[in-house]
């Protein structure tokens, strides 16, 4: 078979046959360019068709049904409403320790952070002056006691004897006056002598009255006894004050606890009223937390909470709301609340930062919606974009509790409904879309 070089009617099978046919040394080689030219002419059209098919596959559903959009489902589950806030650990009260008199610090036998027992020595001041003052006061007490004993043991017995002598003298003077009065009636004694005896009787009676007064003054309730007793009481008071001041030179822990601050060293000269140490008493522990005032209506006494220290986030412990400050911090817009911690962990220390989750309400098997899908909630007329087939429509809803990024739906939606997050761009009521479910977890 002969090949016509000018013919363009060439088939691939023929080319294959010719390629294997033996060619003699005198047979001419025919160029194979016709088929390749046809392929080159038809390739752009084929590529265009393929491109159109690819574009149809990629963009066809989008043009027909709209873009793929992440949506969240409405679910049903148990719901706990909670308020989360941060605060710090604090004892119900702290004791500021200082000196009650001026003096030089002699020793400080404790360190900051140390656990101390009630009555343990914290600071020792120089006490030489106060020891001498106490000794002087004790001497004054002894002197007052001696004065009272003098009244009781000497003056009172002497006054009793003086009264007895005065009474005897008065009795003798009356007896002489009676005898001389009888003689005067008989004419043996003159009137002048009788008058002298009457004066002696009056004088002896006066001496008796004076002796009685003197005796009464030495007895309990009398003036001398009262003076001596008062002097003793005054001396005892002065001695007590001196010994109290002496005790002030030794500053002791009023209760057991932890020293959380120390600002005094040996050799310092301290003044009354200056805080030298701060003691956190052992026992009850509480958490002091600042709550945003917008959550004030959710709080009530006795609510339970779960707390954890930021340093030990995995150690969670229970707490109970025991105090709500009646005032609001204007600068921060917050309310101070306190929680009692009945069983604090051993790792909990003073002034630690803590996070507290307060359980404010609970709903069993509530209808729940992601809060970021709700629109105009701050205006009191919340609504959502609900997926209806491949379109979205506006749906008004009535909401209940809110917490942890979820809202309780009271009316308007059912479990299984799909809604579009409010943050999704370019989606308005009536828009077409292809929903892609994004699962939200309940709080």
Domain ranges (residues) in the chain: 12-64, 67-88+284-443, 95-124+252-280, 128-247
Chain CA centroid to CA 422, Å: 39
Q: Is the pLDDT of residue 10 over 50?
A: no
Nearest to 358 by CA among 383, 338, 388, 378: 338
Nearest to 80 by CA among 303, 339, 230, 243: 303
Superfamily for domain range 67-88+284-443: Efflux pump adaptor protein, beta barrel domain (2.40.30.170)
Spatial separation of the C-alpha atoms in residues 295 and 289, rounded to whole Å:
13
Spatial separation of the C-alpha atoms in residues 328 and 296, rounded to whole Å:
10
For residue 395 the two structure tokens come to 């749906």
Q: Is the pLDDT of residue 442 over 70?
A: no
The pLDDT-based confidence of 280 (bands split at 50, 70, 90) is confident
The pLDDT-based confidence of 258 (bands split at 50, 70, 90) is confident
Nearest to 276 by CA among 63, 126, 108: 108
pLDDT of residue 216: 84
Q: Which residue has the higher pLDDT, 342 or 52?
A: 342
Q: What is the pLDDT of residues 290-330, one digit of tens each?
A: 999 988 888 999 999 999 999 998 899 999 999 999 999 88
Q: What is the pLDDT of residues 396-422, one digit of tens each?
A: 999 888 877 888 898 889 898 898 888
The structure tokens 């009888």 sit at: 182
pLDDT of residue 35: 53
47 membership: H or E segment, kind and range: helix 34-65
Chain CA centroid to CA 315, Å: 18
| Average pLDDT, integer, range 430-437 | 81
For residue 426 the two structure tokens come to 């370019």
Q: Which residue has the higher pLDDT, 251 or 273?
A: 251
The structure tokens 């306190």 sit at: 338
Q: Which residue has the higher pLDDT, 19 or 220?
A: 220
Q: Is the pLDDT of residue 78 over 90?
A: no
Residue partners of 46: CB distance under 8 A and separation at least 6: none
**Architecture in CATH of 95-124+252-280:** Beta Barrel (2.40)
Nearest to 356 by CA among 400, 402, 292: 292
Helices in 151-259 by DSSP H: which ranges?
156-186, 191-218, 223-248
Spatial separation of the C-alpha atoms in residues 370 and 372, rounded to whole Å:
5
104 membership: H or E segment, kind and range: strand 103-107
What percent of the chain is predicted at pLDDT more than 70? 84
């Amino acid at each position: 078979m002969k090949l016509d070089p000018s013919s363009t009617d060439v088939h691939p099978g023929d080319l294959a046959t010719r390629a294997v046919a033996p060619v003699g040394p005198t047979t001419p080689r025919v160029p194979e360019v016709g088929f390749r030219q046809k392929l080159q002419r038809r390739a752009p059209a084929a590529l265009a068709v393929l491109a159109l098919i690819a574009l149809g596959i990629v963009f066809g559903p989008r043009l027909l049904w709209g873009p793929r959009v992440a949506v969240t489902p409405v679910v049903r589950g148990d719901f706990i409403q909670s308020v989360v806030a941060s605060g710090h650990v604090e004892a119900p009260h702290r004791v500021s320790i200082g000196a009650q008199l001026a003096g030089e610090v002699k020793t400080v036998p404790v360190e900051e952070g140390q656990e101390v027992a009630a009555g343990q020595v914290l600071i020792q001041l120089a006490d030489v002056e106060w020891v001498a003052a106490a000794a002087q006061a004790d001497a004054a007490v002894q002197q007052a006691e001696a004065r009272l004993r003098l009244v009781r043991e000497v003056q009172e017995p002497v006054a009793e004897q003086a009264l007895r002598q005065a009474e005897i003298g008065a009795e003798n003077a009356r007896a002489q006056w009676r005898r001389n009065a009888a003689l005067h009636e008989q004419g043996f004694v003159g009137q002048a002598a009788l008058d002298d005896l009457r004066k002696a009787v009056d004088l002896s009676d006066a001496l008796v009255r004076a002796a009685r007064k003197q005796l009464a003054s030495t007895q309990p309730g009398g003036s001398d006894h009262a003076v001596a007793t008062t002097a003793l009481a005054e001396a005892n008071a002065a001695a007590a004050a001196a010994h109290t001041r002496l005790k002030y030179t030794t500053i002791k822990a009023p209760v057991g606890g932890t020293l959380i601050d120390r600002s005094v060293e040996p050799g310092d000269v301290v003044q009354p009223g200056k805080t030298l140490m701060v003691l956190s008493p052992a026992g009850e522990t509480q958490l002091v937390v600042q709550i945003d005032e917008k959550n004030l209506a959710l709080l009530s006494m006795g609510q339970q909470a779960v707390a954890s220290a930021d340093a030990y986030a995995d150690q969670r412990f229970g707490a109970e709301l025991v105090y709500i400050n009646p005032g609001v911090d204007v600068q921060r817009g917050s309310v101070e609340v306190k929680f009692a911690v009945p069983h604090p962990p051993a790792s909990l220390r003073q002034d630690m930062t803590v996070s507290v989750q307060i359980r404010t309400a609970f709903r069993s098997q509530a209808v729940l919606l992601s809060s970021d899908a709700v629109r105009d909630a701050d205006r009191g007329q919340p609504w959502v974009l609900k997926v209806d087939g491949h379109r979205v429509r506006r749906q008004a809803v009535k909401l209940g509790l809110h917490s942890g990024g979820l809202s309780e739906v009271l009316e308007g939606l059912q479990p299984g409904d799909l809604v579009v997050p409010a943050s999704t761009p370019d989606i308005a009521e009536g828009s077409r879309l292809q929903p892609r479910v994004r699962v939200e977890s309940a709080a």
